[in-house]
């Protein structure tokens, strides 16, 4: 009887321990869920605050000041226009249009006898950016004989390298570099690293005057890309 009582007492104690353990597990699970929900909620509100700060404050204006490069328009051996992208319909994106128009303006001002369009097909739409820009340039009455296309590059660093190969047999040393205002600093450093004497000729600096909230968010993404690109290029030794 004594042994039976001991067994019953042990079983009762074990049952109580199991119940307590289960309650602790449930309580622990609830506690972890509360912590997870708190962190998730905090991240959502933090993300919203950052988004509002980008969209409704002059943050992007301050960011772009560090990327600004002063225009220096002079006579050069060639005008180099960097591609800014084409869409799936094979039309120039806004950045490419701005760059093309700036390059054409410099050509008709007589700043150089040749104009070079640079850009491959990084987004795989089936046609090189340089090809589309040259087609549009012909519509602006730029003679085909005065245009050169560089269609192999996929990034700014490669553009500098490929254009250097094109320039060496022609003995081009100085270039008027045309690209977007926010893209100019990294481009300038890449082409100077390639050995060119570079005269920066930024396209329409619309980035400086962006005030629309949606456009500010888009610009912020572009500026992060440029800051990250400069850091990456320094690490790789490309600038």
pLDDT at 158 over 60: yes
Which pLDDT score, from 0 to 100, does residue 197 have?
97
- In 3D, which of 210, 192, 202, 175 has the Cα closest to residue 95? 202
Q: What is the mean pLDDT of residues 184-194?
A: 97
More confident residue, 161 or 46: 161
Which pLDDT score, from 0 to 100, does residue 14 have?
56
Span of 3-7, 89-93, 185-189, 198-202 with lowest mean pLDDT: 3-7
Which pLDDT score, from 0 to 100, does residue 12 have?
52
pTM (2 decimals)?
0.81
More confident residue, 110 or 32: 110
CA distance 122 to 83: 10
More confident residue, 58 or 50: 58
Q: What is the mean pLDDT of residues 191-216?
A: 91
CA distances from 152 to 21, 115, 128, 163 (A): 66, 17, 8, 10
pLDDT at 152 over 90: yes
CATH number of 68-236: 3.40.50.620
Q: What is the mean pLDDT of residues 122-134?
A: 93
Q: What is the mean pLDDT of residues 197-203?
A: 97
Percentage above 70 pLDDT, the chain = 87
CA distance 4 to 217: 76
CA distance 131 to 133: 6
Domain extents for the chain? 2-56, 68-236
- pLDDT tens digits for 71-95? 999 999 999 999 999 988 889 999 9
- Partners of 92 in beta bridges: 86
Which pLDDT score, from 0 to 100, does residue 48 have?
78
């Amino acid at each position: 009887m004594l042994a039976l009582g001991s067994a019953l007492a042990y079983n009762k104690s074990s049952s109580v321990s199991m119940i307590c353990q289960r309650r602790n597990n449930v309580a622990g699970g609830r506690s972890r869920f509360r912590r997870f929900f708190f962190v998730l909620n905090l991240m959502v509100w933090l993300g919203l605050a950052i988004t509002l700060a980008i969209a409704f404050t002059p943050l992007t204006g301050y960011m772009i000041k560090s990327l600004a490069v002063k225009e220096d328009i002079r006579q050069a051996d060639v005008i180099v226009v960097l591609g800014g992208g084409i869409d799936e319909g094979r039309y120039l994106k806004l950045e490419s249009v701005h760059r093309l128009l700036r390059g054409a303006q410099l050509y008709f001002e007589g700043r150089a006898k040749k104009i070079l369009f640079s850009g491959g097909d990084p987004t795989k739409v089936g046609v090189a950016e340089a090809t589309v820009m040259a087609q549009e340039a012909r519509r602006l009455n730029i003679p085909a004989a005065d245009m050169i296309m560089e269609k192999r590059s996929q990034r700014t660093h490669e553009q500098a390298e490929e254009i250097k190969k094109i320039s060496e047999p022609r003995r081009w040393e100085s270039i008027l570099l045309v690209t977007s205002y926010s893209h100019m600093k990294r481009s300038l450093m890449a082409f100077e690293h390639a050995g060119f004497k570079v005269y920066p000729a930024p396209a329409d600096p619309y980035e400086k005057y962006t005030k629309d909230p949606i456009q500010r968010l888009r610009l912020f993404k572009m500026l992060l890309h440029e800051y990250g690109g400069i850091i990456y290029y320094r690490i790789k030794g490309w600038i």
